[in-house]
């Protein structure tokens, strides 16, 4: 149980294009999903918190117009990197917090490697 998937696993795009990354909780409903960014040999940095049916909450320094988040259902959140540039190249990881139960664990997806040329 508690499986989170991401699609695509890796994407290469040209500078100026937009890229959409999907995060799905496969066997549970998630009240909240989180989007992280990880640079090589570094830790995970939270970008935004996404709640179903409401606007995402972005961390300080994260451009909300650049990283569009939509949380359409209790099992799906999407991150769109708009007008991507080479500096947006990174490993993007989502996590989901289960709706059921009283525990606070977050379960992570396998990540999406974005390379912007």
> Which of 33, 7, 14 has the alpha carbon at shortest distance from 88?
14
Question: Residue 66: what are its φ and ψ, rounded to 5°?
Answer: -90, -40
Position among 28, 34, 58, 67 found at the interface with another protein (CB under 8 A): 34
Give min distance, CB of 97 to another protein, in A: 5
Judged by CB under 8 A, does residue 79 bind another protein? no
Q: How many alpha carbons lie under 13 Å from residue 34 in its C-beta half-sphere?
A: 16
**Which of 13, 20, 44, 52: binder of another protein (CB under 8 A)?**
44
Q: Could you tell me which residues come within 8 angstroms of residue 44 by beta carbon, excluding any fewer than 6 positions away? A: 36, 37, 38, 93
Among the listed residues 90, 107, 114, 116, the single contact to another protein using CB under 8 A: 107
Provide the token pair at 38: 């990880």
Whichever of 79 and 111 has its CB closer to another protein, that residue is 111
Stretches 11-19, 37-45, 71-79, 81-89: which one binds another protein (CB under 8 A)?
A: 37-45
> What separation, in Å, do the N-terminal and C-terminal C-alpha atoms of the chain show?
37
In this chain, which of 43, 53, 86, 87 binds another protein, going by CB under 8 A?
43
The torsion angles phi and psi of 86, rounded to 5 degrees, stand at -50, -35
Residues that bind another protein (CB under 8 A): 4, 6, 32, 34, 42-46, 49, 51, 59-60, 91, 93, 95, 97, 103-111, 113
């Amino acid at each position: 149980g508690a499986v989170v998937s991401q699609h695509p696993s890796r994407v290469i795009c040209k500078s100026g294009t937009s890229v959409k990354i999907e995060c799905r909780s496969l066997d549970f409903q998630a009240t909240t999903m989180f989007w992280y960014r990880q640079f090589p040999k570094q830790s995970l940095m939270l970008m935004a918190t996404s709640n179903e049916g409401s606007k995402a909450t972005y961390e300080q320094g994260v451009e909300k117009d650049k990283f569009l988040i939509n949380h359409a259902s209790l099992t799906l959140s999407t991150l769109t990197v708009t007008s991507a540039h080479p500096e947006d190249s990174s490993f993007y990881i989502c996590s989901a917090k289960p709706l059921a139960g009283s525990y606070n664990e977050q379960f992570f997806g396998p990540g999406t490697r974005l390379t912007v040329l």
